[in-house]
A and B are shown apart, each in its own frame.
Chain A
Amino acid sequence: MKEYQLIKETDYEYNADLGLSYASPVRGVWNIVHIGTLVPESHEIFVCPTSCLRGVVLTTAEMEAMDRLSTITVGEDNILEGDMEEALYRGTVRIIRELPVKPRAMLIYTSCIHHFMAVNYKRIYRLLEKEYPEIDFIDCYMDPIMRRTAPAVPSLWRQIHRLLTPSEKNTRQVNLVGNCFPYGPYSDLNYLLEREGIRVMDLNTCRSYEEFLQMSRSVMNFVFHKTGIPAVKDMKVRLGQDWMLARPGYNYDEIDADLAQAASLLEIPPFTREEIEEERRRTDQSAAEALEVLRKTPVSLDYTAVDRPLELCLYLDKQGFRVESVFIDVFTESEEIFQELKKRLPDLKIYQSLGWNIRQMKRGHEGKVVSIGQKSAYFNDTDYFVNIVENDGMYGYRGIRRLMELLKEAALSRKPMKELVQIKGWGCSCG
Chain B
Amino acid sequence: MKKDYQTHVFTSTYTADVSGVCSAMYELGGMSVLHDPSGCNSTYSTHDEPRWYDSDSLMFVSGLDEITAVMGDDSVLIRDVVKAVEDLHPRFITLCGASIPHIIAFDYRGVAYLIEKECHIPVLPVPTDGLKSYVSGVDLAFRAFVERFCDPLEYQEDFRDRINLLGVTPLDFSVNQNVAMMRKTFEDAGFIINCCMAMGDSFEQMTHAYRAGCNVVVSSAGRKTARFMNRTAGMPYVEGLPVGPQIASALISMIRETIRDRKVRRIEADAAMDSAELSRTGGILVIGEEIFAKSLTAAVNGLPPKQRDEAAAYAMWPDPEEGIAEEDLIPAVRKAKIVIADPLYKVVCREGAPERFIAFPHEAYSGRIFRKEIPVFAGTEFSAASMLNR
Contact = CB atoms under 8 A, between A and B. Distances in A.
A30 interface: no
A196 B82 CA distance: 61
B58 A359 contact: yes
Between B18, B41, B60, the greatest number of chain A beta carbons within 10 A of the residue's beta carbon is seen for: B60
- Ranked 6 nearest A-B pairs via Cβ: A51-B130, A55-B43, A51-B16, A20-B60, A144-B38, A91-B7
Given A23-B61, A145-B100, A52 B66 contact: no
B354 to A, nearest CB: 19
Nearest to B62: A20
Nearest to B16: A51
B14, B42, B369 — which one has the most chain A CB atoms within 10 A of its CB? Answer: B42
A143 B61 CA distance: 15
16 contacts: A1-B87, A24-B45, A50-B132, A51-B19, A51-B99, A52-B99, A54-B47, A55-B43, A57-B13, A58-B43, A75-B321, A76-B321, A91-B4, A113-B99, A145-B66, A422-B53
Contacts of B40: 51-52, 55
Interface string A35-64: 000000000000001111111011001100
Nearest to A354: B63
B43 A51 contact: yes
A119 B104 CA distance: 16
Contact of B45 (A25, A61, A66): A25
Contact of B36 (A51, A53, A418): A51
A359 B43 CA distance: 16
Q: Count chain B CB atoms within 10 A of each CB in A20, A73, A111 and give the residue with the most.
A: A20
A62 B7 contact: no
Interface of A is mostly: helix
A357 interface: yes
Interface in B42-87: 42-48, 52-53, 56, 58, 60-67, 69, 80-81, 83-84, 87
B131 interface: yes
A112 interface: yes
B68 to A, nearest CB: 9
Nearest to A424: B46
Interface residues of A, number: 60
Interface string A359-371: 1100000000000
Contacts of B52: 25
Contact of A145 (B56, B64, B102): B64
A72 B5 CA distance: 9
Contact of B18 (A51, A62, A424): A51
Contacts of B103: 79, 113, 116-117
Nearest to B344: A61
A233 B52 CA distance: 41
A275 interface: no
B17 A145 contact: no
A90 B66 CA distance: 29
Interface in B111-149: 129-133
A52 B4 contact: no
A76 B132 CA distance: 9
A94 B4 contact: yes
A284 B81 CA distance: 48
B366 interface: yes
B371 to A, nearest CB: 11
Contacts of A1: 87
A93 to B, nearest CB: 9
Contacts of A27: 42, 46
Contacts of B132: 50
A300 interface: no
